[in-house]
């Protein structure tokens, strides 16, 4: 298992993020300032999560994408039906 993020490391990242979030001076949040925080966060996460614990089952991912597509299509169709009903109600008034 990877090395866990210490409380001090977590506090450091949170403090830097809060400083960026609360900054009031224009142009103070430079790409370097924000980017270095993001980079450090990824580095800490990478140390915290062992590579062997991250795996993707392509079949499972494909099935979930298909299910979401079907759900989305059903919602679009239902909204289209609703729009038609509203249009018909207005048209026949």
pTM of the model: 0.46
| Domain residue limits at 34 | 1-55
Task: Report the alpha-carbon distance of residue 80 to residue 57 in Å, rounded.
Answer: 35
Query: What total number of domains does the chain contain?
Result: 2
CA dihedral sign of residues 53, 9, 20, 37: negative
Q: Are residues 71 and 31 in the same domain?
A: no
Q: Are residues 80 and 38 in the same domain?
A: no
pLDDT of residue 57: 64
Which stretch of DSSP H or E encloses residue 45? helix 31-48
Q: Are residues 2 and 22 in the same domain?
A: yes
Q: Are residues 12 and 48 in the same domain?
A: yes
pLDDT of residue 5: 74
Task: Report the alpha-carbon distance of residue 22 to residue 30 in Å, rounded.
Answer: 14
Taking all residues of the chain, what is their mean pLDDT, rounded to a whole number? 79
Task: Report the alpha-carbon distance of residue 58 to residue 84 in Å, rounded.
Answer: 39
Q: Are residues 44 and 87 in the same domain?
A: no
Q: Are residues 16 and 60 in the same domain?
A: no
Q: Are residues 90 and 51 in the same domain?
A: no
pLDDT > 80? residue 64? no
pLDDT of residue 85: 79
Task: Report the alpha-carbon distance of residue 32 to residue 13 in Å, rounded.
Answer: 15
Q: What percent of the chain has pLDDT over 70?
A: 82
Task: Report the alpha-carbon distance of residue 5 to residue 20 in Å, rounded.
Answer: 21
Q: Are residues 44 and 68 in the same domain?
A: no
């Amino acid at each position: 298992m990877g090395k866990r993020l210490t409380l001090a490391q977590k506090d450091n990242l949170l403090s830097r993020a809060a400083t960026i979030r609360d900054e009031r001076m224009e142009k103070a949040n430079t790409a370097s300032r924000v980017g270095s925080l993001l980079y450090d966060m990824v580095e800490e996460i990478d140390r915290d999560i062992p590579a062997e614990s991250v795996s993707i089952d392509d079949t499972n991912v494909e099935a979930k994408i298909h299910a979401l597509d079907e759900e989305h299509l059903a919602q679009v169709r239902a909204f289209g039906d609703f729009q038609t009903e509203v249009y018909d109600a207005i048209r026949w008034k």
